[in-house]
Amino acid sequence: MTETVVGGDWRAWQESWDRQQEWYMPDREERFRVMLDMVEALVGPEPRVLDLACGTGSISDRLLTRFPAAESVGVDLDPALLAIAEGYFAGERRIRFVRADLKDPQWTAKLPYDSFDAVLTATALHWLHTPELRTLYGQLGALVRDGGVFLNADHMPDGATPRINAAERAFRHSRMDRAKEAGAVDWAEWWRLAAADPRLAGPTAERFEIYGEHADGETPTVQWHVDALRAAGFGEARAVWASPTDSLVLALR
């Protein structure tokens, strides 16, 4: 169905964001499930979590639902997505939000804690170029406690399989086109809706001043992420889930 969320409550905006993201990634919930499975397996059901580049708080929402004793700190720079997150989680004592630029060398000084059991992120760090991402991984190596985990689910294509990649892309875009004809909202249309909401118009305008339409980062391979995380001080790192286009890399301190 076509979105009519303008003027809706914060839950409506949160759910609208999830649907928009699922149009691009129909397996989005599966990656979240595996992410939280690995958190529970490695650090237990009461983790202190840094939700990195948290957006509207999609990871934190699932984290706090699954683990009632968990605590989350969401960090992001996007004022519009943070406005939705803060509205959606209003009154929830287990989460707080920090506005910070991950490219700022001092961004970790804004956090309320010096260490975390887990740092989680999804479909966000491809907004960074590899030198910036390597620097960020070095910072995370100091933030994750010994025995803690970092999990990054993102686009990690394999350029060595061009025929597979082309077939997958054609299939995926055909499915997306059918969903769009049925009323699915894409990235650009979602932001047009956000700009039409009086509560989000100002934050959305500020967001486009910061980022433009979309950042011009990079999507390195799984092996690049593994090597960079090991160089950052993590003892083990590997993919624990994959789709035809994306992977979930886990690094253990």
pLDDT, tens only, 126-157: 999 999 999 999 999 999 999 999 999 999 99
What angle (nearest 5°) sits at the alpha carbon of residue 155, between those of residues 181 and 49? 110
pLDDT at 170 over 50: yes
Res. 43: pLDDT tops 50 = yes
pLDDT over 50 (residue 1): no
pLDDT score of 127: 95
Burial of 78 by CB count in 10 Å (0-12 exposed, 13-18 middle, 19+ buried)?
buried
Q: Give the pLDDT confidence score for residue 5 in this predicted structure.
A: 62
Closest Cα partner for 127 from 211, 216, 187? 216
Radius of gyration of the chain, Cα coordinates, nearest whole angstrom: 18
Percentage of residues in the chain having pLDDT higher than 70: 97
| Cα distances (angstroms) measured from residue 91 to each of 32, 40, 95, 241 | 24, 25, 9, 34
> Which residues lie below 8 Å from residue 33, measured CB to CB, with a gap of 6+?
none
What pLDDT, on the 0 to 100 scale, is given for residue 216?
Answer: 81
Whether 17 shows a pLDDT value over 50: the answer reads yes
Kindly report the average pLDDT of the chain as a whole number. 96
pLDDT recorded at residue 6: 66
The pLDDT score that the predictor gives to residue 80 is 98
Lowest-confidence pick of 6-10, 91-95, 156-160: 6-10
pLDDT at residue 4 in the model = 56
Predicted local distance difference test score (pLDDT) of residue 203: 98
The pLDDT of residue 2: 44
**What percent of the chain clears pLDDT 90, i.e. is strictly above it?**
95
Q: Within 13 Å of residue 89, how many CA atoms lie on the same side as its CB?
A: 28
Q: SS3 for 233?
A: coil
Tell me how far the alpha carbon of residue 64 is from its chain's centroid. Answer: 16
pLDDT of residue 212: 87
Domains contained in the chain, CATH given:
10-252 (3.40.50.150)
Q: What local confidence, expressed as pLDDT, does residue 8 receive?
A: 73
pTM across the whole model: 0.95
- pLDDT category at 7 given cuts 50, 70, 90 is low
pLDDT digits (tens, 9 = 90+) for 182-227: 999 999 999 999 999 999 999 999 999 999 887 789 999 999 999 9
Centre a 10 Å sphere on the Cβ of residue 208 and count the other Cβ atoms it contains: 12
